[in-house]
């Protein structure tokens, strides 16, 4: 009996010891997480011997619950940058260990004390060529229902993007966007409210445009890229493309912090970033990544369209998240 118990105990110890070489990565699922698994996790597992467990989708409520309860099962999480800034302020995140994660090649726009860039993307104007007469050239066309009739689709939740689009369409110059004039934005949005179909996830935005259910809309560039790869006849206007970023964070109290930092180093390396960008159409946050990519893959990135590109102000959004959300839902549900 004693022998069996000792054996069991040894087995348990071995199991916990084995667990030390594991870590959990959480992202948004779908094609994006698949690309992250293939480009980051698989090579990292091979080189480090640390097993990367995939989990998802990212859920900010769950992240907060884990930290509050002191039982954090996620080690690296892919989140939107404005959330990361706010979460750091609320004490939900570990600082990034830049002794392990090389900082020199990182795009400074997308990394800070508590977050390191994951990838960056642009909101672009995409349209179904069968459903739209002519070629829209900028956000103002989405508000011109005479010239461009049909439903238009926008991101449903309160997040950087739609407010800026309305202001740009109303003639606000790109460098005067912030602080956001919410009254003016909602007034502009009122003019097309009944023509809007909202999308709440990437797959839905693709379905709406591909089926012609919405003639055009504000989409993530990677989703348009995927539609075009599938042979769907979709047009895209890069003029006034709006950049935003996803970042990788380590929740406060993560159990495998050491492994997490090593994973971050691999994920943000030029090679990891190049592979992911090629697979997803989203832009790398490592300045050295493009050198490792095929030329035609580079052409599909937001990087190739810096002319007319506008950076959404993540710090402004982190600061005013709740206030804008209150206005947003009040307007939307009215």
Instruction: Among 30, 138, 212, 235, indicate the residue that binds another protein (CB under 8 A).
Output: 212
Where are the extended beta strands (E) located within 202-321? 216-220, 234-249, 310-311
**251 token code pair:** 């929740």
Measured between alpha carbons, how far is 241 from 232 in angstroms, rounded to an integer?
21
* Minimum distance from residue 98 beta carbon to another protein (Å): 27
CA angle (249 as vertex; 243, 253 as ends), nearest 5: 160
> x/- site string to another protein, residues 236 to 275, per CB under 8 A?
----------------------------------------
Measured between alpha carbons, how far is 280 from 274 in angstroms, rounded to an integer?
10
155: left (phi > 0), else alpha (psi -120 to 50), else beta? Answer: beta
CA angle (41 as vertex; 243, 250 as ends), nearest 5: 65
* Minimum distance from residue 25 beta carbon to another protein (Å): 20
> Is residue 91 close enough to count as binding another protein by CB under 8 A?
no
Residues 41-80 that bind another protein (CB under 8 A): 59-62, 64
> Is residue 30 close enough to count as binding another protein by CB under 8 A?
no
Q: Report the residue number, 129 or 288, with the smaller CB distance to another protein.
A: 129
Q: How many CA atoms lie within 13 A of 61 on its CB side?
A: 0
Instruction: Among 157, 178, 238, 316, indicate the residue that binds another protein (CB under 8 A).
Output: 157
Q: Which span (14-22, 192-200, 234-242, 291-299) binds another protein, by CB under 8 A?
A: 192-200
Closest to 268 in 3D by CA, of 292, 244, 293, 286:
286
* Minimum distance from residue 157 beta carbon to another protein (Å): 6
> Is residue 198 close enough to count as binding another protein by CB under 8 A?
yes
- The contact set with another protein (CB under 8 A) reads 59-62, 64, 90, 151, 156-158, 197-198, 200, 211-213, 321-322, 325-326, 329-330, 332-334
């Amino acid at each position: 009996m004693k022998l069996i118990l000792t054996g069991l105990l040894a087995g348990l110890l071995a199991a916990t010891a084995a667990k030390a070489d594991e870590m959990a990565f959480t992202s948004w699922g779908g094609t994006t997480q698949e690309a992250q698994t293939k480009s980051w996790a698989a090579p990292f597992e091979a080189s480090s011997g640390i097993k990367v467990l995939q989990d998802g989708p990212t859920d900010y409520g769950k992240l907060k619950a884990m930290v509050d309860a002191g039982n954090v099962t996620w080690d690296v999480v892919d989140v939107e940058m404005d959330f990361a800034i706010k979460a750091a302020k609320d004490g939900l995140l570990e600082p990034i260990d830049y002794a392990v994660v090389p900082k020199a090649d990182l795009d400074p726009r997308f990394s800070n004390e508590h977050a390191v860039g994951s990838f960056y993307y642009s909101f672009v104007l995409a349209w179904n060529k069968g459903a739209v007469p002519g070629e829209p050239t900028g956000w103002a066309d989405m508000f011109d229902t005479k010239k461009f009739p049909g439903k238009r689709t926008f991101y449903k939740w309160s997040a950087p993007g739609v407010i800026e689009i309305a202001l740009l369409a109303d003639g606000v110059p790109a460098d005067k966007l912030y602080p956001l004039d919410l009254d003016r934005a909602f007034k502009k949005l009122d003019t097309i409210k009944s023509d809007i179909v909202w999308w709440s996830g990437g797959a839905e935005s693709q379905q709406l445009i591909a089926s012609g259910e919405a003639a055009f809309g504000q989409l993530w560039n990677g989703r348009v890229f995927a539609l075009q790869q599938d042979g769907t006849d979709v047009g895209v206007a890069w003029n006034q493309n709006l950049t935003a970023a996803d970042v990788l964070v380590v929740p406060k109290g993560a159990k495998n912090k050491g492994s997490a930092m090593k994973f971050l180093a691999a994920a943000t390396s030029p090679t990891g970033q190049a592979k992911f960008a090629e697979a997803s159409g989203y832009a790398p946050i490592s300045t050295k990544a493009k050198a490792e990519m095929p030329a035609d893959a580079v052409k599909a990135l937001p990087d190739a369209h810096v002319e007319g590109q506008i950076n959404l102000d993540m710090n402004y959004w982190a600061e005013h998240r709740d206030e804008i959300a209150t206005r947003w839902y009040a307007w939307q549900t009215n």
